[in-house]
Copies of this chain bind each other. A is one copy, B any other.
Amino acid sequence: MQRILASEVAAHAGKTVSVSGWLHKKRLLGGLTFINVRDRSGIVQAVVEDKAEVEKLRGLQIGTVLTVTGKAVAEERAPGGAELHHPTLEITTPVTHEPPIEIDKPLGHKSENLDTLFDNRVIGLRNLQEAAVFKIQAAITDALRKYFKDNDFTEIRTPKLLAEPTEGGAEVFQMDYFGKTATLAQSPQFYKQIMVGVFERVFEIAPVYRAEPSATTRHMTEYISVDAEMGFISLSELEVFLSGLLNAAVDAAWDQYEPELKRWNATKPVLPKTIPSMTMAEIHEKYSKATGENTVGEKDLRPDEERWICEYAKKNLKSEALFVSEWPASEMKFYHKANDKNPEIADRVDLLFRGVEIVTASMRENQYEVVIKQLKELAKGDPNDPGYAALLNAMKYGMPAHGGFGLGLERLTQKIVGLNNVKEAALFPRDINRLAP
């Protein structure tokens, strides 16, 4: 008999149908054996009454692969609104080992349990609530890509094996490369800028690597970076673009996965079409006044300050996201651009969302001579260093005003679902202590 999906059973009410999947749950109730079968579409319940059929399940564990053929009956209380009656079971792959965890119960996500969660990830992901995180992540990814494409971006693929660290710094992984040394890319920064010279608007969604030497709730050694770069734009246009992008991601997740998000106790982010913006000085002032701490004049936001100003923006600006503008130029990377009118500030905005920075966006310096000057002064770099050749060539042979941003896919997922640790939003997270599974 042709297989149908669990989600299609209700539409076949009255007919005999076959569903194939995993034994997801088994319980005895009033002399009846209820089983839940899971396939790619979800869950269907079957009521096993016939003794011979019940007997087939004896000794078999959750995870057993089987085909259940029975009569589809509408049943409001069953998952999907239907169940299978008087089924016959065909056990295709029996499982006799008891699973290491109970996959139908909510898995522990307390910080002290995360190692157990990740150690058991291979089976733990079969829990529907866990799996939903990654369904939501895939929907977010789609929404981001669609938004990029609707705005004329070209998707690119840039190398992660580099001769030199892109942005200097100690946090790089290095390896032997046929007698030379190769470095894993920390970001596609130089390449996406170079590709603005080709396609004007580009994006890439791909892994990047940071040899982050400590285990935090905010960092992984490998994560998926959503990178974009556009030519012929200004910082305020970048803000407009990012407002639209974040809204698109949030809407996609909630439009497609509202029940799953609610099961995670997530709330739909309050997000105006145009995300409000505040200067760093304003934030310092407000925070200092409200808390008694004094951050006035500081060159970055403290983590507590990020959380506080997000609460403030939610309450007073009706937005759970907030742009932070007017960063001090002294904190610029060499490829960043200082403001034309006030060289003390950088043309940079960060986007805070639910208490943390999720995006750093900035304009890049596009004048060859100025980039070289900044490279020497800000990065103490040598323009003849071959690691800079590609980026400098792009500038030398003509680059428009351009800017872009990077966004961690896991962090965005984390904030939309409401997870405490970014690693919970990675299928198989990597940090200083974890390379498996």
Residues of A within 8 A of B (CB): 3, 20-23, 39-41, 61-65, 92-93, 95, 97, 99-100, 122-123, 125-126, 131, 134-135, 137-138, 141-142, 149, 152, 154-163, 173-178, 180, 182, 184, 191, 194-195, 197-201, 206-207, 209, 211, 213, 221-222, 224, 231-232, 366-368, 386, 389-390, 393-394, 396-401, 409, 426-430, 432, 435-437
Q: Which 4 pairs show the lowest CB-CB distances between chains A and B? A: A63-B398, A40-B200, A390-B437, A175-B175
When chains A and B are docked, how far (Å) is the Cα of A173 from the Cα of B160?
13
Say yes or no: A367 contacts B177, CB within 8 Å: no
When C-beta atoms are compared, the residue in chain B nearest to A175 turns out to be B175
Say yes or no: A366 contacts B93, CB within 8 Å: yes
10 A-B residue contacts at CB 8 Å? A21-B200, A21-B232, A22-B400, A61-B398, A63-B397, A123-B393, A126-B198, A160-B207, A207-B207, A389-B437
Say yes or no: A99 contacts B436, CB within 8 Å: no
Say yes or no: A409 contacts B65, CB within 8 Å: no
Say yes or no: B182 contacts A173, CB within 8 Å: yes
If A95-B397, A152-B40, A435-B177 touch, whether A161 touches B64 (CB-CB below 8 Å) is no
Question: Which of A155, A156, A386, A399 has the most CB atoms of chain B within a 10 A radius of its CB?
Answer: A155
Closest beta carbon of chain B to A103's beta carbon, Å:
9
> A198's contact among B62, B131, B221, B386, by CB below 8 Å, is which?
B131
Say yes or no: A232 contacts B20, CB within 8 Å: yes
When chains A and B are docked, how far (Å) is the Cα of A428 from the Cα of B162?
10
> A122's contact among B123, B138, B197, by CB below 8 Å, is which?
B197
